[in-house]
């Protein structure tokens, strides 16, 4: 007798989200099964990896991850073009860290100029991220959302402290929105509901439940993402059916394992290989947990994860 593998069926479905315009637009989400379970249902889109750039030179990045971009990282336009043309990035994530009051404290007008210049230089979709200073991001992201009007970007991150202004700006200018909460499924659901009650379409939200690096609470991040995805699929909870974001690079490249010198810890192995592996392994875990969109830094880590996606899809 032929063996028939058992299959699970699910009542819910993840929303499909498209970003960008024209031939370079990309779509992620849309599945009605657990990650990479194409044998049980529909997985219409592969996960998307966006390459992270900044509006200022990344002086706080470890040398290992600064080195691949050393020729272009002083200029966000050149950096974005490098990611698009040389790395073949499907999307670029521009983090406006220079606007943070404790950094360069750049103005919203400065951010607008940067965003306009980057948008003029690339074809691939752009994710526009603030500096994670709730008050400053309110002013900055309102300005850049208007400057990028109708380019179908992702704007973020909207948090409990500033979601009203940022969501309104994204809605008025036809963008998608990242809703970030702090590693709690109930807080994540509540924020999605609050944003939807403003009139923002729940199908245009990307959920960021926050990230953590391998060895620094990754198991908890994994469990939160997994619970969100199970609520979406098994309970058909429409407030949990948004695609999930894993903002990998910013968390991985600040931990000791990606920056500690070989001379200090020789038994940890080669620093460069260690850091690349740390980012790739963190990203891979989040993909299996349910992330459809990743933001990463090192080109070799990105290639490794793209290869894994090729094998799993």
- β-pairing, 176-180 vs 48-54, is unpaired
Q: For residue 114, is pLDDT > 80? A: yes
Using CA atoms, how far apart are residues 195 and 279, in angstroms rounded to an integer? 31
Concatenating the DSSP letter of every residue in 111-147 gives HHHHHHHHHHH--S-EEEE--S-HHHHHHHHHHHHHH
Contact assessment for residue 286 and residue 279, using Cβ atoms and an 8 Å cutoff: no
How many other β-carbons are positioned within 10 Å of the β-carbon of residue 269?
11
What digits encode the pLDDT tens for the residues 181-191? 999 999 999 99
Within 8 A by CB and 6+ apart from 180, the residues are: 156, 157, 158, 159, 191, 208, 209, 210
User: In which band, very low, low, confident or very high, does the pLDDT at 1 lie, cut at 50, 70 and 90?
Assistant: confident
pLDDT of residue 235: 96
Instruction: From 25, 92, 1, 13, select the one nearest 52 (Cα to Cα).
Output: 92
Across the range 274-280, mean pLDDT stands at 97
What digits encode the pLDDT tens for the residues 49-95? 999 999 999 999 999 999 999 999 999 999 999 999 999 999 999 99
- What percent of the chain is predicted at pLDDT more than 70? 100
Across the range 191-212, mean pLDDT stands at 96
Domains of the chain: 45-312 (3.20.20.20)
Comparing 5 with 122, the larger pLDDT belongs to: 122
User: In which band, very low, low, confident or very high, does the pLDDT at 7 lie, cut at 50, 70 and 90?
Assistant: confident
pLDDT of residue 2: 85
pLDDT of residue 257: 94
Give the global pTM.
0.95
């Amino acid at each position: 007798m032929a063996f028939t593998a058992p299959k699970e069926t699910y009542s819910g479905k993840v929303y499909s989200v498209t970003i960008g315009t024209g031939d370079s637009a990309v779509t992620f989400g849309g599945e009605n099964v657990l990650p990479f379970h194409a044998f049980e249902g529909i997985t219409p889109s592969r996960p998307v990896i966006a390459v992270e750039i900044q509006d200022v030179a990344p002086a706080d990045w470890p040398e290992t991850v600064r080195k691949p971009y050393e020729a272009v990282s002083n200029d966000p336009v050149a950096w974005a073009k490098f990611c698009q043309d040389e790395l073949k990035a499907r999307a670029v994530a521009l983090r406006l860290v220079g606007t943070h009051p404790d950094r360069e404290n750049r103005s919203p007008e400065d951010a607008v100029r940067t965003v306009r210049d980057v948008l003029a230089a690339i074809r691939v979709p752009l994710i526009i991220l603030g500096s994670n200073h709730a008050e400053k991001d309110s002013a900055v992201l309102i300005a850049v959302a208007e400057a990028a009007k109708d380019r179908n970007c992702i704007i973020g991150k909207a948090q409990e402290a500033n979601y009203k202004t940022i969501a309104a700006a994204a809605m008025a200018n036809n963008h998608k929105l990242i809703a970030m909460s702090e590693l709690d499924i109930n807080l994540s659901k509540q924020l999605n509901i609050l944003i939807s009650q403003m009139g923002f379409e729940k199908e245009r939200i990307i959920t960021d439940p926050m990230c953590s690096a391998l060895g620094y609470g990754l198991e908890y991040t994994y469990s939160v993402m997994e619970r969100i995805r199970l609520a979406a699929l098994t309970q058909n909870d429409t407030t949990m059916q948004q695609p999930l974001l894993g903002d990998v690079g910013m968390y991985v490249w600040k931990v000791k394992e990606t920056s500690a010198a070989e001379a200090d810890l020789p038994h940890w192995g080669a620093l460069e290989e260690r850091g690349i592996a740390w980012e790739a392994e963190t990203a891979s875990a989040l993909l299996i947990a349910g992330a459809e969109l990743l933001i990463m830094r090192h080109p070799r880590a990105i290639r490794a994860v793209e290869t894994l996606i090729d094998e799993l899809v």
